[in-house]
Amino acid sequence: MIKLKEVANTKELKQFVTFPFSLYKDSKYWVPPIIKDELDSFNKDINPVFKDADARFFLAYKERTLVGRVAAIINRLEIGQQSIKKMRFGWFDFIDDTNVSKILLDKVAEIGRENDLEFMEGPVGFSNLDKVGVLVDGFDHLGSMVTWYNHPYYEKHYTDFGFVKEKEYLENKFPASNADPALFTKLNDIVKRRYGLREKNFTNTKEVMPFVDEMFDLFNATYAKLSSFVPITEIQKAYFKKRYISFINPEYIKFILDKNDKLISFAIVMPSYSKALQKAKGKLFPLGIFYLLSAKKNNKDAIFYLIGIHPEYQNKGVTAIIFNEYYKTFKKKGVQMCYRTPELEDNLAIKQMWKHFSPTVYKRRRTYRKNL
């Protein structure tokens, strides 16, 4: 018999966070999170997302053994500003037993109906900057710190319970050697002269900090037209600045400024922390922090995390400046492989941006939807 229990204290929340450590203990592709960071992200006194969102966490037990988990999430900004009556759910993991997945999904649906929501979609996080999608192809590739990994049987559990595909995301990769400088060097010079633009590079994190708020403002402006976009609030800016910027090698942050020193484009690339996180096994101390610092400074894999371009400068060749700067940095750092985070399958602009690098799709993931 399967029993459901709502997380009620710190001990149970830690069980929620660490459940995948047992579920994926034999997987060489799963990348564990840092346990403390994960706990902090679920702490209502630490993560400002809880000022605009509600979340409840549930554990499923088979006899006395923990066999599943799910987070049921309501984003009030999404509902209030966009009138999207969506019941979100994420951090959805379970053994291959439909009784387990069903009791967890039924609970999410129950909460959605209680709040007069129209449909449920998952797996998704609290907001646009969280992890998204269940992996449906590419199980034999190493995961990353910005995506969920899952067993192949997950997809069938969604479809068996009447879920249908809502969005499909692609993950691409290409060798750094595919970046032929002839494709962007000349255009880089032309675009800079035509629009009075210049690049801004960094050597340490302290130099980046004064630009971070402006970067998040530009992020909001860049993605405002997306149907599912929820702007980053002021309090979230401070939180993300504190939590994430230190993870990024400052040499991998590129800004483009106009003649008035106004930020019109940014790009963030992260070194791959996957192998370092596997070695750390969820803990920063005593050795985890050293694995991460080593990966930050000495890494042959780079992950393109985010690119933002002000709407006034989109389709004007600004990406040539960005690619030119990364080409120089990657050559200096010896980067060999480039990866891109999940991108919507129907995002034609993204496909056009990267076409000259001959990327290969190596993973697919989806969110699933069911009407309530």
Residue 352's pLDDT is 87
Q: Which two tokens stand for residue 70?
A: 């799910």
**Pair 18, 57 in one domain:** yes
| Interior/surface letters 342-357, b for 16+ CB within 10 angstroms, e for the rest | bbeeeeeebeebbeeb
pLDDT at position 129: 77
Task: Report the pLDDT value the prediction gives residue 323, as an integer from 0 to 100.
Answer: 95
Residue 103 and residue 233 in one domain: no
Amino acid identity at 48: P
Domain count, the chain: 2
Contact 147, 365 (CB under 8 A): yes
Stated pTM of the model: 0.94
- Report mean pLDDT in 10-residue bins for the chain, 372 residues: 96 98 97 96 94 96 96 94 93 98 98 98 90 97 96 98 96 94 90 96 92 92 75 84 84 96 95 96 95 92 93 93 95 95 90 91 98 98
pLDDT at residue 245, as a whole number: 85
Verify that 194 and 146 share a domain, yes or no. no
Same domain assignment for residues 325 and 361: yes
Using CB atoms within 10 Å of the CB of residue 126, give its burial: 0 to 12 exposed, 13 to 18 middle, 19+ buried.
buried
Tally Cβ neighbours within 10 Å of residue 172: 21
Token reading at 309: 């371009």
Angle between helices 318-333 and 185-195 (to 10 degrees): 130
- Does 133 map to a domain? yes
Residue 371 belongs to a domain: no
108, part of any domain: yes
pLDDT value for 244: 81
Q: What is the pLDDT of residue 38?
A: 96
CA 273 from chain center: how many Å?
14
Residue 330 CA to residue 206 CA, distance in Å, equals 22
Q: Which residues constitute the domain of residue 219?
A: 175-365
**Antiparallel, parallel or unpaired: β 337-340 and 343-344:** unpaired
Q: Same domain for 162 and 180?
A: no
Residue 332 within a domain? yes
* CATH label of the domain that carries residue 240: 3.40.630.30
Instruction: Please say whether the beta carbons of 59 and 5 come within 8 A.
Output: yes
